[in-house]
Structure 1
């Protein structure tokens, strides 16, 4: 499968190559911020610099300040992650540019009396002392516990699991969907509740961090008694900026708790790099080579700080993030990247009426290659549920504040030809139980997906569960001001809520159940969680019904 989408202008390919190979000799020929970016990105692969080794016993402060995580469970393998940072708000995490040996253990029990695998991994300074361990030859469909050691320090204990056997029967799966966690907009209270929830896997659908400046008070986190260093009070541009911003987010105790409790499957949207970028087109009018260098920095920091496997390791400004996972014969997950390969929005990013340009067949949200990858995967699928975790709203949304044809150009509504190709592919593959998981919009929706997106009377072919934000948008409200008008304008929309939280989906052999979990406030810590709405979708009969 191609590493890139099919829409790649020649000049873009050349710029990508320059971003990968821009060397120290050209440092002084690149102006302004691009020069700093070039220097930041032009790092060797792990081990290539033959860094000296640091005796881990010399680390005097806890290096596991950013917690532990696991991700992308397979039937016989788990991916374990940590990053050494005894001083997380300092460049390099407070460690010298030397490699560190890290020990890891995987056990059947929390006390590690039944250790099933153990080994060592190297935390390389080239990857900011991040560690990715792929543990193989494990039993399918079972829970494991893991931890790391460096010198005299031991990390917290994480809990993970393997997926069921590929051809095995899995009667049930409960997933959580999360997105949009602006640190400066409030506390990650929803993650504390998610850490205590009984789910098998968490899908993060994008905007894991925000590139915007965070002031010394932490924005809306006014009850925090610490003062953040000035290094966060600027927009992320360089590799060091992105690394430090991940350190800020991952030092949050509630996010750490969620990662330690459940395996995550992650994909990005725009803010992990820059607001509203489309492929190689930045939000603002900056030189293309400068943006691709920034993108390379953002992608590298993303991989360093997420529980991702080797195939997802970036190559300069390119990173193969779309991928496929299975949960026995119960579910196939096709995780999309609707940001890296998209053609630029024909009408800008706001709410606009469609035009011939936006409806052109050449317009694509995931890229033509990824579109074919998705529909080809459906043809081969033997799963009961085909689930698509992705970023932006798939079903049509008519804006009640304007005319009937005013749609969001940043969502699939702005790329109707792309959506039609995907729906036609699902129809050709005879996908009966299609579910799309979405983030991005800082509200929650439950929507039926119709074969003709513009005709609510056409056949229902799937369900879309849109999770609200963890914090982005601050507190929100149960019923936004346009609540009644929105539901009236969009009859396929069965739920609309504006509070913060997450969604859970229990997939079974007879039905799926979706629950929207919310907290009343994120600008104060410790808010309780409640269920705002619940729906069921019967197997073989797409369409949402109140639970």
Structure 2
């Protein structure tokens, strides 16, 4: 049997070979011969800061390394160009281009585009963060299944002109699942190799609403499980039993994810990991701590050779084992240090899944192992960190469970809330398991709102005095022109955790 050290070493060697190959780009390769629109996969921005952001594209059909020109302007007609440059599009990275733009004025809207061999990309737009903003509008989204619905919710986000889209996982799905009528098909088997995952991401980028959203709005992203395979935990596969095979699959999926996301150019590490936990600050109004709850977590509690993924557990002492972690010890320390240094009025923790405890109909002590309930001691450590006096108003943001939730979060059951949890439903997928969620509100007094019947996203408006929550529901996933409406609105007042 392969040891964990050998598995990691093998995956690192594979990733390092790709990483090194990606760096072997000559300064001026021959002009590429284009047989299709090189910018068919669109443009995107992300990682917003006071003085800049990341811009992205991926060259379609690239057969040789290329150099792509880029420019940033203060106007949409590019009469006032303020930054230009050239960036590598290596074949070893799938032709992906990531540019960190710096040195811009804060609080301004900017426009960008790319050039290659006479072709010009569509124009993207993105804003730098203001020095002292007095309000912040964000969209929280996750879980977009290509087959199960159209991505029309993004039109509503564009109309809302949010400062950023927090996409907290399941950006792609690797498999078909569930009973119901699909609106389109993957047209391919489940991805396993790098080329498979590249093709799946490229398919997603052909959705007009997703492509428009990436061009219009900066995305702050972090993956969950379906970007690789359902319910995997760190280096432990849930579907792929062989450790070596799983780590090869994970390395391929991680590279493809990086190649298609507007992440920092240095986010993909030489060992095949991706640096996803990071912070964003909107002056002294709000900070967003983005967590990675999938890459560094311990194996599922009481997993067996036959049952490695998430499931309902009863008598399992490992659920509260303090040695187990959801974030990894380095990320836990990073987060605690961030809370200790917090200076913003609002502290937003953007992560992937349901955080508050969830009593289940299976009886007392029953817990679902893939959410935070499966990592009780790790949740306790995060709650202890949240109790620091520097954290004034904490909002725990999540997704994954295909339903809307608003929960009070306390350090002990029935205690005074220390945070408010806001969970978005799926943007485009079937809803969560009715058998588990139908009785949830009756069994869990801290659940203030639960809707397991609609898809959509959450719109957040943050000011110094309050955060307004708007649960936005897509009227029909089967309609490619569906409208999105407000399902419910709630408020969290500064200085008082819990929804009103």
Q: Which residue of 1 aligns with 2:70?
A: 104
Q: Is the 8 A contact 2:19 2:270 kept in 1?
A: no
| 205-214 or 131-140, larger mean C-alpha shift | 205-214
Q: Work out the CA distance in 1 between the residues paired with 2:27 and 2:207.
A: 30
SS of the residue corresponding to residue 48 of structure 2 reads strand
1:348-391 deviation digits (Å, cap 9, x = unpaired): 51122363221111121111221111111100111111111001
The alpha-carbon deviation at position 402 of structure 1 amounts to: 2.4
Contact 1:69 1:158 in 2 (8 A): yes
| SS of residue paired to 1:494 | strand
Task: State the secondary structure of the residue aligned to 1:370.
Answer: helix
SS in structure 1 at match of 2:88? strand
Q: Distance in 2 between matches of 1:435 and 1:322?
A: 17
SS in 2 for 1:329: coil
Aligned to 2:130: 164
Alignment partner, residue 153 of structure 2: 190
CA deviations 1:175-211 (Å, max 9, x no partner) are 0011011111121111222222221111000011111
Q: Match of 1:350?
A: 311
Number of the residue aligned with 2:62: 95
Counterparts in 2 of 1:129-144, with a 5 A limit? 129-144=95-110
> Closer, same or farther in 2 for the Cα pair 1:462/1:526, shift >3 Å?
same
Which residue in 2 is equivalent to 1:495?
449
1:485 shift after superposition: 2.9
Query: Is 1:124 the equivalent of 2:54?
Result: no
Gaps of 5+ in 2: 304-309
Query: For 1:393-542, what aligned pairs fall within 5 Å after superposition?
Result: 393-399=354-360, 401-452=361-412, 455=413, 457-473=414-430, 476=431, 485-498=439-452, 499-542=454-497
**Equivalence for 2:307:** none
CA distance in 2, matches of 1:83, 1:371: 33
Contact conserved, 1:300 with 1:314, CA < 8 A, in 2?
no
Mapped to 2, the partners of 1:485 and 1:272 lie a distance apart of 30
SS in 2 for 1:289: helix
Displacement of 1:52: 8.5
The structural deviation recorded for 1:471 is 1.1
What secondary structure, in the 3-state scheme, does the structure 2 residue paired with 1:428 have? coil
8 Å CA contact retained: 1:103, 1:149: yes
Is the 1:433–1:539 contact (alpha carbons within 8 Å) kept by the matching residues of 2? yes
Q: Distance in 2 between matches of 1:198 and 1:267?
A: 21
Report which stretch shifted further, 346-355 or 242-251.
Answer: 346-355
Distance apart, 1:99 and its partner CA: 1.7
Evaluate the alpha carbon distance shift between residue 187 and residue 84 of structure 1 in structure 2; reply closer, same or farther with a 3 A threshold. Answer: same
1:3-18 matches, within 5 Å, as 11-18=3-10
Paired with 1:295 and 1:506, the residues of 2 have a C-alpha distance of 36
Q: 1:286 aligns with which of 237, 241, 244?
A: 241
Spell out the pairing of 1:1-400 with structure 2 (5 A cutoff). Answer: 11-22=3-14, 42=18, 44-48=20-24, 53-56=29-32, 58-85=33-60, 94-96=61-63, 98-165=64-131, 169-212=132-175, 220-222=182-184, 232-284=187-239, 286-348=241-303, 349-353=310-314, 355-399=316-360
Residues in 2 aligned to 1:51 and 1:162: alpha-carbon distance in whole angstroms:
30
After superposition, what is the alpha-carbon deviation per residue over 1:418-444, rounded to whole angstroms, capped at 9, x for unaligned? 111111111134422001110111111
Distance 1:430 1:124 in 2: 44
Residues of 1 paired with 2:257 and 2:365: CA distance?
Answer: 37
What SS class does the counterpart of residue 113 from structure 1 fall into? coil
Structure 1's unaligned 5+ residue stretches are 1-9, 23-37, 86-93
Aligned residues: 489
Distance 2:150 2:111 in 1: 27
RMSD: 2.3
- Tell me, what secondary structure is at the counterpart of 1:325? strand
1:41–1:535 CA distance, 2 compared to 1 (3 A): farther
Contact kept? 1:354, 1:414, Cα under 8 Å? no
User: Whole-Å Cα distance in 2 between the matches of residues 252 and 345 of structure 1?
Assistant: 34
Matched residue SS, 1:44: helix
Q: Which residue of 2 aligns with 1:89?
A: none
Question: Cα offset for 1:111?
Answer: 1.6
Q: CA deviation at 1:405?
A: 3.0
Whether the aligned pair in 1 keeps the contact of 2:25 and 2:88 (CA below 8 Å) is no
Distance 1:49 1:286, change over 3 A: farther
Q: CA deviation at 1:140?
A: 1.2
**Post-superposition shift, 1:237?**
0.6
User: Contact 1:337 / 1:390 at 8 angstroms: preserved in 2?
Assistant: yes
Q: Do 2:276 and 2:292's aligned partners in 1 also have CA atoms closer than 8 Å?
A: yes
